[in-house]
Amino acid sequence: MKIFPAIDIKDKKCVRLIKGDFENKTEYETSPIDQAGKYKDYGFKNLHIVDLDGALTGETVNLDIIKDIVGKFDLKVEVGGGIRNLDSNQKYIDAGAEKVILGSAAIKDKSFLEEACQKFLNKIALGLDAKDGYLSVSGWKESSNQLTLDYLKEVNDYGINRLIYTDINRDGMKQSPNFEETSKVADVSNCPVIISGGVSSMEDVKKAKGLKNIEGIIVGKAIYDGDIELDELAREINA
């Protein structure tokens, strides 16, 4: 199972949000590039990056930082945050991203998702952010009034290469992921699923390994707050 340490970038700093709330954020002293180097030093191979400035503006604000991280550390990076057109997709792929995560724009316009999957084969990950079974969009500020599983069934054959499922109620809360709901999504999904939101302990990571159609797990705030030690997490990479 792949382990994805997370880097959320805002104003060129590493930050973590609580339930996606930009007003409820913690800033960390380390820079995104230094943090990526730290993950590389511990032996991690994959990295989850969200450009929070991009999520707010719809532009590839931190493209240079992401390009530096890929170039310096040769990590397999999946990147998301406000990617609303094919041009932004192309920029991230040209920067060396292994996967580009489409979220709100793909949920609002399924044809955009389908076109991106066709143009960028095996490069598109779909980010499904849900609250009480319904998808949320626009930085989680609004509900799409669309059931997660209904939407997934509609786009399942588009050629999505990876699915990232986040339970918003758990994100940044360190209360363990919503394994039950994630398993329902994984049962329906034609592509492997990444667990996101709420990882609080090594027990969560180990539990994820036993689930069907799960490719990996994203670990964020628990690393920054010291609840999960990087050396212990790194031992799970090849365990």
Domain boundaries of the chain, sorted by first residue: 2-234
Q: Is 129 a catalytic residue?
A: yes
User: Of 11, 51, 129, 157, which residue is the catalytic one?
Assistant: 129
User: Of 8, 167, 171, 204, which residue is the catalytic one?
Assistant: 8
Domain 2-234 has CATH 2.60.210.10: no
**H-type helices in 28-125, by residue range?**
32-41, 52-57, 63-73, 86-94, 104-108, 110-119
Residues 6 or more apart in contact with residue 191 via CB below 8 angstroms: 160, 161, 162, 163
Both tokens of 174, joined, read 């360190």
Cα 84 to Cα 87, 124, 127, 156, 186: the distances in Å are 9, 13, 13, 20, 25
Give the C-alpha separation, 125 to 92, whole Å. Answer: 13
pLDDT in tens, the chain (239 residues): 999 999 999 999 999 887 777 777 788 888 999 999 999 999 999 999 999 999 989 999 999 999 999 999 999 999 999 999 999 999 999 999 999 999 999 999 999 999 999 999 999 999 999 988 899 886 556 667 899 999 999 999 999 999 999 988 887 677 899 999 999 999 999 999 999 999 999 999 999 999 999 999 999 989 999 999 999 999 998 76
Asked whether 185 and 224 are in contact (CB, 8 A), the reply is no
Q: What global pTM score does this model have?
A: 0.94
